[in-house]
Amino acid sequence: GSGDGKAKAERMFGLMNGFLKNDPYSLQKDILDHVEFTVPRSRFSFDDFEAYQACAHTVKDRLIERWHDTQMYFKRKDPKRLYFLSLEFLMGRSLSNSVINMGFQDQYAEALSQLGFDFEVVAEQEADAALGNGGLARFSACQMDSLATLDYPAWGYGLRYQYGLFRQVIIDGYQHEQPDYWLNFGNPWEIERVHVSYAVKFHGTVEEKTIDGEVRHDWVPGEMVEAVAYDNPIPGYGTRNTINLRLWAAKPSGEYDMESFNTGDYINSVVNRQNAETISNVLYPDDRSHQGKELRLKQQYFFVSASLQDIVRRFKDSHPNFENFSEKIALQLNDTHPSLAIAELMRILIDEEHLKWNTVWKIVCDVFSFTTHTVSPESLEKIPVDLLGSLLPRHLQILYDINFKFMEDLKKKIGLDYDRLARMSIIKEGAVKQIRVANLSIVCSHTVIGVSRAHLELLKTRVFKDFYELWPEKFQYKTNGATQRRWIVVSNPNLCALISRWLGTESWIHNVDLLTGLREHAADASLQQDWQKVRRMNKMRLAEYIEATSGVTVSLDAMFDVQIKRIHEYKRQLLNLLGVIHRYDCIKNMEKGDKRRVVPRVCIIGGKAAPGYEVAKKIIKLCHAVAEKINNDPDVGDLLKLVFIPDYNVSVAELVIPGADLSQHLSTAGHEPSGTGNMKFLMNGCLLLATQDGSTIEIAEELGVDNMFSFGAKLHEVAALREKGLAVKAPLQFARVIRMVRDGYFGHKDYFKSLCETVDGSNDFYLLGHDFASYLEAQAAADKAFVDKEKWTRMSILSTAASGRFSSDRTIQEYAEHTWGIEPCRCPF
């Protein structure tokens, strides 16, 4: 009976606890086993990379053990679960993070050192998992870490792209894109589940049948692809809980195209089957714009369909009917990319499970929540109706039905205001009919979430104004966060140790509010001294990296000034470059004696441009052109250096952020939904030079605006300036530096012409000219503060002390309590 089963399960749980030993000697033995049998290499001769592979496999074994225990425990407890749907996860490297979260850091360091290896060097062999573009994708990864650490019963779902974000190679100062075939040398972290697979259908026709007086829809597909699961265990810190990130890969379907084989063209049939795999081949590298491409739509549906089939199957395994579906399941839409999940859940429950429309509609409205990461209505995703109708005919019907009912309800509420009805409709009428995916997500979700307080304000007043007026209670914000495990403990071990020493505890690693305890020591001379020592060591590492990647030698006494993020006009890397040119111009025109008063700077810029984004690519080239001039000018020497760090990614960020003195966040007010880089710099005691935009507004409140360098037009000023047609006079210095670029002072006169025009007078949409004067003032204030070491160090300590609120632990707790309604479920074994 079931009683016996329970006793047996208890016994098994007991036995499972600690199959694998984690003392240095046992780890060593396991590492050598994997060298010999998994890699495989002779245990008497293997290099750093092979040591990494073997090490990763020993960690994976331990992850699997915990993964099993956690999943069995979740299954037994049957708590409400969160499913986090995202087309992008920027996980970066896993070795250090896993070892630290599991608590085996010292044991691994010792095990490896006795074998003649250095843990840090071994960890650096790992290639980044770069299955995402930028902030949105890294935020997903941070949220997974927090979900695991806080013991929430959660799963992530995504796509296993064979090629992640392109590798950026700089040739002659120009960006070139190369494929990132990250799976080349195998991926020790994933568990391939050949038996967990689902058929995903495309194209074909929908037939209507009446069975027992009810209309049934039978979708006969024209194409079928198999989705195979790859599981990536995510260990929590200070807990045994290890949650799952399930990524889907496309494979040719098993039985479907028997037909084509029977026609006799065997070779072509095999070759055609391989086309199925193209679906999960490559990540789209545009971080904002998506132009209704069929492959992209296929990716979205493929991922959504496999995930929902899996979720429904798991639910049915332990529930007799769908009555409590929405009490047991929360589905989180990470931006609009997974929004076809709405139509897919309706299709599964209506067409396959034969539930009634109204029952299903209620379920849908109870389970979905939707976080949006955008501020511009123009960049909201749209799907051409023709494309959707051809690829997913049944889903198009469902969307039309949803929209019809929504429009009928809306008419009752707001009357026949046809303009407003047309704006809010899920279908955009016109020459090319389109599905407005954001409208679909809003209509079908119980909550719509912005990523900072300022972002919610923009959603209410601009982006989703009509919807806010209809359903004000639906709209909320949860300010983004970053995980201190990766962004302090993994990437800045020396600062981590120093913090723990001064707080007298390591508890801040999972209870980050404790960091405020540093405030009372901010002026303490002995903490300041230790703090400076740690920061200098980090700068040394960064200086070595700069020398290795760009050949520029930099002085550790200079201020390391960093701007790293995707290249975008609104993020204003060009403003930074124009500031650097101005600084250079000043130095060139100085009397010799005045140079002693110049605060030396190393200006560091890194980031990728979307392959088709010409303006962004010109900004990268300008950076290289200016760097070449400045770095080779004997009049300048160590007073100013400009460096572009190529191929910026998560692991580069882990190296750069701890070594930065100052970081720049320059978006024109009203354009950065949140920003999370600023939070990572803050955690590491790096001072911010920033506009009042996105999450920086909240950072300024927490830290005190005097402890950062704030500048630029505020939101209402931006609006007023644009209303006036940008009729402002840029300061003389701005005209002067633009002229230098335009006149060919840095070469490539013709190439830079159009770039200069983007910030010229009434073209200057992002207000570089307007903000230039206050930008230079903020830079001067930073110079002045840097000279006062005591003051600077105090501000640095206060920055770390203020960073607790910007932990993704806080973000996740808010989502769990207010949006998902989930509770911790901690595996006790």
Q: Determine the Cα–Cα distance for residues 585 and 583; give it in Å rounded to an integer.
A: 5
Taking the least distance from each CB to ligand Z16, the nearer of 83 and 806 is 806
Active site residue 680: yes
Active site residue 38: no
- Going by C-alpha positions, the residue among 407, 495, 458 that lies closest to residue 683 is 495
Residue 641 to residues 168, 296, 552, 619, 636, Cα–Cα distance (Å): 22, 41, 8, 17, 8
Taking the least distance from each CB to ligand Z16, the nearer of 619 and 797 is 619
Minimum Å distance from CB 424 to ligand Z16?
21
Catalytic residue among 680, 770, 805, 810: 680
- Going by C-alpha positions, the residue among 387, 408, 396, 413 that lies closest to residue 470 is 413
Taking the least distance from each CB to ligand Z16, the nearer of 62 and 568 is 568
* CB contact at 8 A, 369 and 132: no
Q: For the chain, what is the total number of helices (H) and then of strands (E)?
A: 33, 24
Which positions touch ligand Z16 (CB under 6 A)? 133-136, 139, 287-288, 373-374, 451, 480, 672-676, 694
Question: Taking the alpha carbons of 482, 486, 488, 489 in that order, is the dihedral positive or negative?
Answer: positive
Calculate ∠ Cα 428-429-435, nearest 5°: 30
For β-strands 559-564 and 601-606, DSSP reports them as parallel
Residue nearest to ligand Z16 (CB): 135
Long-range contacts of 489-494 (CB under 8 A, 24+ apart): 489/100, 489/237, 490/96, 490/97, 490/100, 490/654, 491/653, 491/654, 491/655, 491/657, 491/658, 491/684, 492/534, 492/538, 492/657, 492/658, 492/684, 494/534, 494/537, 494/538
Active site residue 565: yes
Taking the least distance from each CB to ligand Z16, the nearer of 381 and 661 is 381
Minimum Å distance from CB 379 to ligand Z16?
7
Taking the least distance from each CB to ligand Z16, the nearer of 96 and 369 is 369
Taking the least distance from each CB to ligand Z16, the nearer of 135 and 233 is 135
Catalytic residue among 372, 479, 668, 676: 676
Residue 108 identity (one-letter amino acid): Y
* 148 secondary structure, DSSP code: H
Catalytic residue among 80, 394, 565, 810: 565
Taking the least distance from each CB to ligand Z16, the nearer of 670 and 769 is 670
- Going by C-alpha positions, the residue among 676, 773, 581, 59 that lies closest to residue 373 is 676
Active site residue 608: no
Minimum Å distance from CB 518 to ligand Z16?
25
Residue 798 to residues 499, 503, 525, 700, Cα–Cα distance (Å): 12, 14, 14, 12
Catalytic residue among 373, 486, 568, 583: 373
Minimum Å distance from CB 586 to ligand Z16?
33
Minimum Å distance from CB 107 to ligand Z16?
35
Minimum Å distance from CB 676 to ligand Z16?
5
Structure token digits, residue 63:
């992850």
Q: Determine the Cα–Cα distance for residues 665 and 646; give it in Å rounded to an integer.
A: 19
Dmax (CA) of the chain? 96
Structure token digits, residue 451:
């990523």
Residue 498 identity (one-letter amino acid): L
Taking the least distance from each CB to ligand Z16, the nearer of 135 and 221 is 135
Minimum Å distance from CB 209 to ligand Z16?
42
Minimum Å distance from CB 469 to ligand Z16?
23
Name the strand (E) or helix (H) holding 495: helix 493-503
Active site residue 676: yes
Taking the least distance from each CB to ligand Z16, the nearer of 200 and 458 is 458
Catalytic residue among 167, 566, 583, 805: 566
- Strand partners of residue 602: 560, 641
Minimum Å distance from CB 693 to ligand Z16?
9
Question: Taking the alpha carbons of 18, 22, 28, 34 in that order, is the dihedral positive or negative?
Answer: positive
Give catalytic residues, as residue numbers. Answer: 373, 565-566, 571, 676, 680
